[in-house]
Amino acid sequence: MARKLFLLMLVFFLAATPLKEAHAAIPWAEIIKQAVKRVVRAFDLLVQRRQNRQIRLQNAQKALENTMAKLKLDEIEDWVKKQRDLYREYYQELKKVKAVVSYYFRVKAIADRQAQIVKQYQTAWALFKNDKHFTASELSQISTVYEGMLEETARSVELLELVVKSFATEMTDVKRLEIIEHAGKATDQVYDELNSFNQENKLLSLSRARNEFDAKVVKELYGIQ
């Protein structure tokens, strides 16, 4: 009976009319989610195009080698030149493929972390804005902090998009790696700050519990041990 009463109270807690939000819905979350998808999809296509070009070069090389037996002596010099040029292009392309693939895994890891930031923000904010232990003013402050974190994450996503576009420009590998690492550090910092901020707010809500039963509801709501 007590268990049923607890569950009913928890449902009531979650379904309670939310306090009026001082900020409109933050649009950054959906913007970041879509941008992260674009980055990963663009990198997938970039790797695929590079690998397809490498395959075409391999096929062209085999075709040249197959004609070797049919060449006359006066055509050997021309064949050797074509073969040398093809090998040069092939190994340059192979080097690019390896670079793109190595960048891909680092960029993908950063993009995954950015997606986690959005998910954790959405989960926590959905709970906080319905938590009767926070005032409208406090919810406004929480919303402002979230907005700042999401803006910073959006800037990191833009850096990843810049890296994808850089393969069509003359950007150096050093500069490309510098941008990736900057985006990675910024993303990790936001992720850590978000986790810390969410935990602080959960504990604040718990500290405001009016009685033991209220505290139990808060712990259940936020998964506090």
Question: What tokens does 137 get?
Answer: 């003013």
82 domain residue, yes or no? yes
Distance CA 66, CA 79 (A): 11
Note the maximum CA span of the chain.
Answer: 99
| Six-digit token string for 215 | 């505290």
d(CA 120, CA 124): 6
| 132 in any annotated domain | yes
Residue 104 pLDDT: 81
Dist CA 213 CA 11 (whole Å): 14
- The string of DSSP codes covering 85-138 is HHHHHHHHHHHHHHHHHHHHHHHHHHHHHHHHHHHHHHHHHHHHTT-TTS-HHH
Residue type, 56: R
Q: CA–CA separation, 225 vs 220, rounded Å? A: 9
Residue 119 has pLDDT above 80, yes or no: yes
Q: pLDDT at position 166, please?
A: 80
Q: What is the pLDDT of residue 182?
A: 94
- Whole-model pTM: value is 0.68
Q: How far is CA 11 from CA 4, 7, 120, 143, in A?
A: 11, 6, 21, 24
Q: Is 167 buried (19+), middle (13-18) or exposed (0-12) by CB count in 10 A?
A: middle
* Confidence class for position 90, pLDDT limits 50, 70, 90: low
CA–CA dist 224, 216 (Å, integer): 9
Reported as a pLDDT band with limits 50, 70 and 90, residue 35 is: confident
Task: Tell me which residue range forms the domain holding 164.
Answer: 27-222
Secondary structure percentages of the chain, helix, strand, coil, to 5: 85, 0, 15
Residue 9 lies in a domain: no
Lowest mean pLDDT among 44-53, 84-93, 167-176, 187-196: 84-93
Identity at 95, one-letter amino acid code: K
Residue at 187 is within a domain:
yes
Cα separation, 216 vs 209, whole angstroms: 9
Q: Is the pLDDT of residue 204 over 80?
A: yes
Question: Of 33-37, 42-46, 71-75, 125-129, where does mean pLDDT reach its minimum?
Answer: 71-75
> Is 111 a member of any domain?
yes
pLDDT tens digit sequence for 131-176: 999 999 999 999 999 989 999 999 999 998 888 888 777 788 888 8
Among the listed residues 30, 20, 24, the one whose alpha carbon sits nearest the alpha carbon of residue 150 = 30
Residue 13 forms part of a structural domain: no
Quote the number of domains for the chain.
1
Give a yes or no: residue 160 inside a domain: yes
What distances in angstroms separate CA 182 from CA 42, 186, 202, 213, one per listed residue? 20, 6, 30, 46
pLDDT level of residue 15 (50, 70, 90 thresholds)? very low
Most confident of 38-42, 73-77, 110-114: 110-114
Task: Report the percentage of the chain scoring pLDDT > 90.
Answer: 39
Q: pLDDT-based confidence at 49, cuts 50/70/90?
A: confident
